[in-house]
Amino acid sequence: MQVVILCGGQGTRIRDVAEDIPKPMIPIGGRPILWHIMKGYAQQGFNDFVLCLGYKSWVIKRFFLDYHLAGTDFSLRVGSSSSLRLHGSGASEDWQVTLAETGENAMTGCRLKRVEKYLTGDRFMLTYGDGVGDVDLHALLDLHASQGKIGTVTAVRPPGRFGEIELEGPRVVEFMEKPLLARGRISGGFFVFQRSFLDRLENDPSLILEHAPLVDLAREGQLAAHCHDGFWHPMDNSRDYQHLNDLWATGEAPWKTWTTPRLRAAA
């Protein structure tokens, strides 16, 4: 099954961290957040990726073109008879990556429509290039299959950004200073869609996936929810950037699932 990752946004709210690279390339522990997302999928058996590129797309293309060189030694002869010799096997990842130009200013729904020609199966997975989590992808797929809907979204509890209080009348019965998880749920991405969903999309740069396409799907009863109570966190601003890097630096990154063995084969 293919995994579509939306990588084209400009990330205007996090320009104070990195203004010269696209948002999916902002690093956690020296590696782009996009790499972390892909490692999480690949660990669970999903390693065929379609990246929807836009803003500063060449930065992402260059990262993958040079990927096999980044982790290995090599000898280079410069001159009229230039040559390159690698010392070692290089990258260990066994990924199929399609990098598709979907327009610098296109919105999310249009980006997905523009990679339709690269999608080959009856269903596909989709996520954003700026959020990490320890989502059980096989449980997500099982839920999607059991519900028989066109789409399934992973519903997460947003990280607590502010202190919460619980009231009974005028009395405070519980006070929580920036709880790990808030009580409500939001979309955390990590979607599964039937291919028929693509027929609902138009090649219109203003088409936003989260507006009419998903709103209509929900109103028609064709959108299921996979509730995820584990870790999930976006990288929306410099505070998120610092938090995720702190977790990585202390060895407490819950999304780093790729050190654990695979429990079963991919669906």
| Residue 267 pLDDT > 50 | no
Strands 123-128 and 96-101 come out as unpaired
Cα 22-28-30 angle, rounded to 5 deg:
90
> Quick check: 75 pLDDT over 70?
yes
- Residue 144 half-sphere exposure toward CB, CA atoms < 13 A: 22
Greatest alpha-carbon span in the chain:
82
Residues 6+ apart with CB under 8 A from 219: none
Is the pLDDT reported for residue 92 higher than 80?
no
For residues 73 and 54, give the distance between their C-alpha atoms in angstroms, rounded to a whole number: 31
Can you give the pTM of this predicted structure?
A: 0.85
Q: What are the tens digits of pLDDT across the range 120-164?
A: 999 999 999 999 999 999 999 999 999 999 999 998 887 765 445
User: Which domains, from first to last, does the chain contain?
Assistant: 2-249 (3.90.550.10)
Structure tokens at 80: 């009229």
Among 36-40, 168-172, 220-224, 228-232, which is the least confidently predicted range? 168-172
- Those residues with Cβ within 8 angstroms of residue 100's Cβ, 6 or more apart along the chain or in another chain: 50, 51, 52, 53, 114, 115, 118
pLDDT at 86: 78
Q: Is pLDDT above 70 for 191?
A: yes
Strand stretches in 48-108, DSSP E: 48-53, 73-77, 83-87, 96-101
pLDDT tens readout for residues 8-52: 877 666 666 667 788 999 999 999 999 999 999 999 999 999 999
Name the token pair of 90.
């290089």
CA distances for 184 relative to 55, 68, 156, 160, angstroms: 32, 43, 8, 10
